[in-house]
Structure 1
Amino acid sequence: MPPPHSQSRYSRRGLLGGGLILLTTLCIGGWPAPAEGSFRPDQLRQVMRNRYGDRGSTMLEEWFALLERLANQPLQTQLRDTNDFFNRRIRWLDDIDIWGQKDYWATPLETMGKAQGDCEDFSIAKYITLKRLGVPTRQLRMIYVRARIGRRQETQAHMVVGYYETPASEPLVLDNLVTTITPAAQRTDLDPVFSFNSDGLWAGGSTQSRANPLQRLSRWSRALTRMQEQGFL
């Protein structure tokens, strides 16, 4: 890992190697603010059973067991086991095949209930799990990237979770394409476009992309609202 004060295209100070913009919740239109102590396991159990039956309930109980087991474990164990939990249990599938929509950002309950998801769903589930384990929001971001896939290096939109030891650190990348957690410097197949968490959005202007951060963050806002209704937040 690079020294704490090194710059990189992923760091909060140089996400794209250009000017850094922080759009707070006020600029984006007021994301729901999670209330302290509002995690409601019984409500999650009820919603899961009503929507997805025994299969969904079984996975939810496995998730609760994961939270309990990892509660006092070292950070590296929490990152590794959270990454593995979803990579091993969730089948990758396009949103159109799961939800009948082109771009739907599922809550962790919906992802576990279906046992299917795309890259955004993997990332959201991992991010919420790590937050539940007590990893500070300031050290976690979901990073929207352009990924080069396969021998032909075809480019496609993708999302991963980044863990930042410090704001200027090279993050560790939690991904569903490469299942081992890897420093971002080693992921030369990924080009970061913007990143966000529960606090705000980081974007820069030096990379060309069709991604519209504000449009995509509206999907995050809707997912947060559903998570509150389901009992996550």
Structure 2
Amino acid sequence: MGTFGHSHALRAIALACGIALLLPAISLRAATLDSSGSLEIASRSTEPFGLIAHPLSFGGLYEKWRGVERKLDDERVQLALCDGDRERCAAPAALQFLAIVDNARERDGRARLGQINRAVNLAIRPMSDLAQYGEIDVWSSPLATFYRGAGDCEDYAIAKFAALSLAGISPNDLRIVVMRNSILGEDHAVAAVRLDGHWLMLDNQRMAMVEDSYVRNFRPLFVIGRSGVMKYDDAPLIAAAPERDVVPSAALDLAAQPGMIPFAN
């Protein structure tokens, strides 16, 4: 894919997200986050997938995220005002978003993360930017996405990122990851949360959360978080696991948690 410093790459990820959401379920099962097998990572960092990443201070993706951050700052004020007086709040999208955060706060650990993953997945209809805006590189803020009720993969990821933050997840444990699907040749964005030292992927294409060690057929490209946008250094392809591998008990346990019913759009 190269760097997001080119508008072509930005258009590619947005279009790919929208297309991926509309594929038949069988294709999604083959290409999305796969919970079979295990991944051996030789050199680990504190970022998802244990790979080294370096900050970006320019380029298309950097500018996109800066724009999202400014919108997030504005929406935090709106959410705070609505939270202080919900009866007079005139923004249905804000009330819907706050309700998701409220429900998550009543839970702990994986159940809290799973509640947000499931609730956001159900609140937003999959729709490409091209179909929704007539463009293919639109990154929407959470309330804008909830107002429209539709979005593509990065819109889901941004909404989860904001909801998890409001629900009490530390910025140190919260990321958005952009990956390339090696089967479909498309890019995909997910939210990622670190719990008990392990990074869990919150994907709009499924309800069950999957640990980064069990992700298959994706190449991590970029990671976004407290430090801004970072690019993975020559990230290796996460190859498909052999068919003989057995689904690990940890992944099965994740699927059994509240709000983590296996799902595919």
Q: Shorter-normalised TM-score: what interval?
A: 0.5 to 0.7
Partner secondary structure for residue 178 of structure 1: coil
Do the aligned partners of 2:44 and 2:50 also contact (CA within 8 Å) in 1? yes
Distance 1:124 1:9 in 2: 28
Partner of 1:75: 109
Q: How does 1:131-210 map to 2 (within 5 A)?
A: 131-148=165-182, 153-165=183-195, 169-207=197-235
Change in Cα spacing, 1:24 to 1:140, as seen in structure 2 (3 Å) is farther
What are the Cα deviations for residues 149-168 of structure 1, in whole angstroms up to 9, with x where unaligned? xxxx32211001111237xx
Question: 1:113/1:124 Cα in 2 relative to 1: closer, same or farther (>3 Å)?
Answer: same
Secondary structure at 2:168 match in 1: coil
Distance 1:100 1:48 in 2: 28
1:14 to 1:122, Cα distance in 2 relative to 1, 3 A: closer
Q: Which runs of 5+ in 1 are unaligned?
A: 1-5, 50-56, 210-233
1:62 aligns with 2:89: no
Distance 2:185 2:43 in 1: 18
AA aligned to 1:160 is V
Deviation, 1:81, is 0.7
Residues 119-130 of structure 1 correspond to what in structure 2 (within 5 A)?
A: 119-130=153-164
Is the aligned partner of 1:85 residue 2:123?
A: no
Letter in 2 for 1:22: P
> What is the letter of the counterpart of residue 90 of structure 1?
I
Equivalent in 132, 138, 145 of residue 111 of structure 1: 145
1:191 Cα deviation from its structure 2 partner: 1.8
- 8 Å contact 2:82–2:94 — kept in the other structure? no
Assess, with a 3 A threshold, how the Cα gap between structure 1 residues 14 and 171 changes in structure 2: closer, same or farther: closer
Find the aligned partners of 2:77 and 2:168 in 1 and give their Cα distance: 13
CA gap 1:11/1:174 in 2 versus in 1, 3 angstroms:
farther
Given the two structures, how large is their TM-score scaled by the length of structure 2?
Answer: 0.59
Gaps of 5+ in 2: 1-39, 238-265
Distance 1:95 1:109 in 2: 16
Alignment check: 8 A CA contact 1:14 1:20 kept: no
Q: 1:40, CA displacement in angstroms? A: 3.0
Shift in CA distance, 72/165, structure 1 to aligned 2, threshold 3 Å: same
The aligned amino acid for 2:233 is G
Aligned residues with identical type, % of pairs = 21
TM-aligned CA distance change 1:20 to 1:198, over 3 Å: closer
CA distance in 1: counterparts of 2:160 and 2:46, whole angstroms: 20
